[in-house]
Amino acid sequence: MTERVPGWPVEFQQRYRAAGYWQGRTFDRILADLADRHRDDVALIGGGPIADAERITYGELLTRSRRVAVGLRELGIGAGDVVLLQLPNRIEFVVTWFGLQHLGAVPVHAQPGHRHRELSQLAATTSAVAYVTTDVHQRFDHRGLARQVADLVGSVRHIIVVGELGEYAADDRFVTYRSVADAPEPAAPLHAGAASDLALLLLSGGTTGTPKLIPRTHDDYFYNSRAAGARCGLTAQTVYLAVLPIAFNFTWNCPGILGTLAVGGRVVLAESPDPAQCFALIERERVTYTAINPQLVPAWLDEYARGTADISSLEVLEIGSARLADPMARRIVTELDVTLQQILGMSEGLFCATYLDDDVETVCTTQGAPVSAADEIRVVDEHGTEVGTGEVGELTVRGAYTPRGYYAAAEHNKTAFTADGFYRTGDQVRRLASGHLIVVGRIKDQINRAGEKIAPAEVEGALAAHPAIESVAMVGEPDPRLGERSVVYLVVRGETVPTRRELAAFLGRAGLAAGKAPDTVRVIETMPLTPLGKIDKKALRAGGPAS
Ligand code: AMP
């Protein structure tokens, strides 16, 4: 496509269009068509207390998002402009997302925990022109953060706040979402973009010092919605509960919110993954399908055992984003009256899921099979040679919804993708004869902490600036609660040994998300090195040298 957004080779584009995977529809048109078909059906339900839980229909979602688009256009936002979106699980996220689609503008799905370092890097990489955020959420004032980001990156001219401006009203970069959403409805479509255009930018879990962005087009992302929705059995009768953060690809499109809307279903937004709140929403809204990560499973099982709510409407529980231990999968199948659906998904594209009618053994021990006939899977050894069925190798993939490169990262793309366009996932899997994959490990330098990915290189880079630290390395260790916890090994310069809390505060001041602070800090005499002089993380993972 462009230098910043690597596209698929022409013969692949033709193939995907001819097969009907790519339908040539942009998300603004897709929403307009859905509103034609389901105008008065409820599309979205806010998760607040029942008295003020907002419900909006497909018709209202279209109207509201078109009005937001006009309001954004009045601020000077237009086609190709990039906008950071950092909102909790609220209807405004969905309305703004579609509002941007009406203009051909591009949302960046910032994560809820991101702070000024991540956000300013994202803004600088994309020359973002605006930042949509909330006032105060979970006792954190996002307006102050937004101002910091806009001070650091001059391209960010507008900060749109869902809520009150308070003292920030004096800063003319700030406007309320309310004022943007109050704009009149336009008479005609606002933009006629191509379906091969960039529709959104997702965050990669990453392995590098700075966060990488994944460019997704209308064509590929909508195919992702449909293919995932079909495998997960979504229909117009589906009531989907969004539990995890809305910006995650898992929640948004696997099949998630877009997958549900694509078939005319209903989406309920939970403000928190707390099982008591979620169970109450399941009961109240007769939720049929929901998705959580393995770390939430024990609390959900406990809540179910307490019998506090009637969740008999729930048909399918989808679990992914980290490895679900087989025994835990068996507990779900035995203790809950639902169909378990395991998935292996990634913002980089590929989505695998078990079939709803798979036998119990397959559901409890595999992470599913790819959802598209166009997903080309190669499980390879360290030389790139395919391994046999059932053997362990790295999962690599190419397909109609797996982009061919990261955004504006030409150099990194040379190693993250093979010469013939396969994405190297860094995940170690075994592929069964049935096509189902079993995740057995990881070769990428990444920590999967409660489903949230940490790139050690990013944290190490930030900690290297600490005056007491001579050398630092971060690795993951198994943890019963988090799946993996982050452990920082330090060689210190003098007598002072920084504590875990001090390091967390140091990283916080450097502007990193709180979830990236180490869970454990260990001080060692010398860093173990490989024969090539690099830090030997294998040795550290194996317990590290004696301190
Ligand atoms: P993200 O893009 O944040 O969803 O992260 C994608 C990565 O999460 C994958 O490449 C895997 O490393 C990991 N992941 C997702 N689902 C699973 C799963 N079911 N089992 C193990 N790892 C998973």
Mean pLDDT by 10 residues, the chain (547 residues): 88 98 98 98 82 88 98 98 97 98 98 96 98 96 98 98 97 98 95 96 91 97 98 98 98 98 98 94 97 97 96 98 97 97 98 98 98 98 97 98 98 97 98 98 95 95 95 96 96 93 97 97 95 92 65
| 119 closest CA partner among 89, 150, 88 | 150
Residue 362, SS3 per DSSP: helix
CA of 421 to the centre of ligand 1 (A): 20
Residue 425 Cα: closest atom of ligand 1? 10
319 — phi, psi (to 5°)?
A: -130, 130
In this structure, the answer to whether residues 307 and 342 fall within a common structural domain is: yes
- Domain boundary among the residues 421, 442, 463 is at 442
Q: Which of 253, 344, 438, 444 to mutate to test the pocket of ligand 1 (most atoms within 8 A of CB)?
A: 344
CA of 485 to the centre of ligand 1 (A): 16
Residue 7 falls inside a structural domain: no
**Residue given tokens 């690795």 in the structure block:** 475
Residue 301 falls inside a structural domain: yes
Measuring from atom 20 of ligand 1, which residue has the nearest CA?
323
- Domain boundary among the residues 162, 193, 224 is at 193
Count of domains forming the chain: 3
In this structure, the answer to whether residues 460 and 433 fall within a common structural domain is: no
Residue pLDDT, tens place only, 427-466: 999 999 999 999 999 999 999 999 999 999 999 999 999 9
Q: Angle between the 297-306 and 326-335 helix axes, to the nearest 10 degrees?
A: 20
In this structure, the answer to whether residues 180 and 314 fall within a common structural domain is: no
Residue 408 falls inside a structural domain: yes
CATH code, 488: 3.30.300.30
- Structural domain including 467 reads 448-540
Residue 347 Cα: closest atom of ligand 1? 2
CA of 356 to the centre of ligand 1 (A): 20
In this structure, the answer to whether residues 178 and 307 fall within a common structural domain is: no
Q: Which of 111, 427, 449 to mutate to test the pocket of ligand 1 (most atoms within 8 A of CB)?
A: 427
CA of 344 to the centre of ligand 1 (A): 6
Neighbour-count burial for 189-201, b at 16+ CB within 10 Å, e otherwise: ebbebebbbbbbb
Residue 5 falls inside a structural domain: no
In this structure, the answer to whether residues 398 and 507 fall within a common structural domain is: no
Residue 38 falls inside a structural domain: yes
**Token pair listed for 318:** 């989808």
In this structure, the answer to whether residues 306 and 418 fall within a common structural domain is: yes
CA of 457 to the centre of ligand 1 (A): 18
CATH code, 342: 3.40.50.12780
Q: DSSP secondary structure string, 487-543? A: EEEEEESSS----HHHHHHHHHHTT--GGGS-SEEEE-SS--B-TTSSB-HHHHHTT
Residue pLDDT, tens place only, 309-354: 999 999 999 999 999 999 999 999 999 999 999 999 999 999 999 9
Residue 377 falls inside a structural domain: yes
- Domain boundary among the residues 420, 442, 464 is at 442
In this structure, the answer to whether residues 498 and 515 fall within a common structural domain is: yes
Measuring from atom 8 of ligand 1, which residue has the nearest CA?
321
Residue 334 falls inside a structural domain: yes
User: Residues lining ligand 1, CB < 6 A?
Assistant: 205, 249-250, 320-323, 344-347, 367, 425, 427, 439, 442, 448, 453
CA of 320 to the centre of ligand 1 (A): 7
